[in-house]
């Protein structure tokens, strides 16, 4: 049976981590040729090893999504390896504790913490699109999926800049969907709820039981459950879908 992404080339940022790595394995299962980008070169290489072990094709790229030149180089590398860029999953991101803002209310965030959060989680997504879109226009189309969050839809105490960045990602997604609709480029977002990755380990250890009370499914999501949605959005099966933000959250946003 044909794979849903047979012959497509795909770039995944943050591909060395939980959601990015799981999505890479799903894309490979569906026949995509992959470029795995991550700020951690070792993490990207580990994902490539797992994809290759599963019979897929992948190359690793290093690069911080906050640096325009690095992002441009990433896209150039994908195009020189695979000839085109069909799918881009702009997924790299960080949590509050990674900018020393864990547990802090709005007025307690340091200026530097706020700026770094916006640089990675919002500007990084914009920079990726900025360099992906011209390539997709030149080749006649493409699909972009950005990683939002339930934090892009509601407020979450002590997550000030994270929430602001994720709301911004959804704004960028909808705007690009409108701007490039006639260029045959679809732009969508996925909004994960609480997912089992390194990012949530610490929070879950401290407040897992309390948080799961608010999730109708009473469990965390698995990274693969996000990856399946991203794969569908990057496939031709979602051909009439653009500017959409899909919640994959065990029912969290239905309350």
Ligand X SMILES: NC(=O)c1ccc[n+]([C@@H]2O[C@H](COP(=O)([O-])OP(=O)(O)OC[C@H]3O[C@@H](n4cnc5c(N)ncnc54)[C@H](O)[C@@H]3O)[C@@H](O)[C@H]2O)c1
Q: Which residues bind ligand X (CB under 6 A)?
A: 13-14, 16-20, 38-40, 43, 64-66, 91-94, 120, 124, 147, 149, 192, 194-195, 197-200
Nearer to ligand X, 60 or 91 (CB): 91
Closest to ligand X by CB, 9 vs 149, is 149
Beta carbon of residue 121, minimum distance to ligand X (angstroms, whole number): 6
Comparing every residue's Cβ against ligand X, the nearest one is 17
Q: How far apart are CA 218 and CA 108, in angstroms?
A: 31
Instruction: Tell me if 166 sits within 8 A of 149, measured CB to CB.
Output: yes
Give the containing element (helix H, strand E) for 193: none
What's the closest the beta carbon of residue 178 comes to ligand X, in angstroms? 23
CA distances from 173 to 10, 99, 229 (A): 18, 25, 16
Is residue 200 within 8 A of residue 19, CB to CB? The reply is no
CB of 126 to ligand X, least distance (A): 13
Q: How far is the CB of 255 from ligand X (least distance, A)?
A: 17
Nearer to ligand X, 40 or 68 (CB): 40
Catalytic entry in 162, 180, 246, 252: 162
Q: Residue 128: phi, psi to the nearest 5?
A: -60, -50
Interatomic CA distance for residues 51 and 145, integer angstroms: 20
Closer residue to ligand X in complex, CB, 60/238? 60
Rounded distance between C-alpha atoms, residue 31 and residue 221, angstroms: 24
Question: In the annotation, is 180 catalytic?
Answer: no
Report which of 198, 202, 115 is spatially closest to residue 164, judged by C-alpha positions: 115
Positions marked active-site: 162
């Amino acid at each position: 049976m044909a794979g849903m992404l047979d012959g497509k080339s795909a770039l995944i940022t943050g591909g060395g981590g939980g959601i990015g790595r799981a999505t890479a394995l799903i894309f490979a299962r569906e026949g995509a040729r992959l470029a795995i980008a991550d700020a951690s070169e070792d993490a990207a290489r580990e994902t490539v090893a797992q994809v290759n072990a599963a019979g897929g094709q992948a190359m690793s790229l290093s690069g911080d999504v906050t640096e325009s030149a690095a992002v441009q180089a990433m896209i150039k590398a994908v195009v020189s390896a695979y000839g085109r860029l069909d799918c881009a999953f702009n997924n790299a991101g960080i949590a509050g504790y990674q900018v020393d803002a864990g547990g802090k209310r709005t007025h307690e965030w340091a200026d530097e913490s706020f700026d770094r959060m916006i640089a990675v989680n919002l500007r990084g997504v914009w920079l990726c699109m900025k360099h992906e879109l011209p390539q997709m226009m030149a080749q006649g189309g493409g699909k972009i999926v950005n990683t939002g969050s339930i934090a892009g839809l509601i407020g979450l105490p002590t997550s000030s800049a994270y929430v602001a960045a994720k709301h911004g990602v959804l704004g960028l997604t909808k705007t690009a969907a409108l701007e490039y609709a006639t260029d045959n480029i679809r732009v969508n977002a996925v909004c994960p709820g609480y997912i089992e990755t390194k990012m949530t380990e610490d929070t879950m250890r401290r407040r897992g039981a309390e948080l799961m009370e608010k999730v109708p499914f009473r469990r965390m999501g698995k990274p693969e459950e996000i990856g399946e949605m991203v794969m569908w959005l990057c496939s031709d099966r979602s051909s009439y879908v653009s500017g959409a933000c899909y919640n994959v959250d065990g029912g969290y946003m239905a309350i």
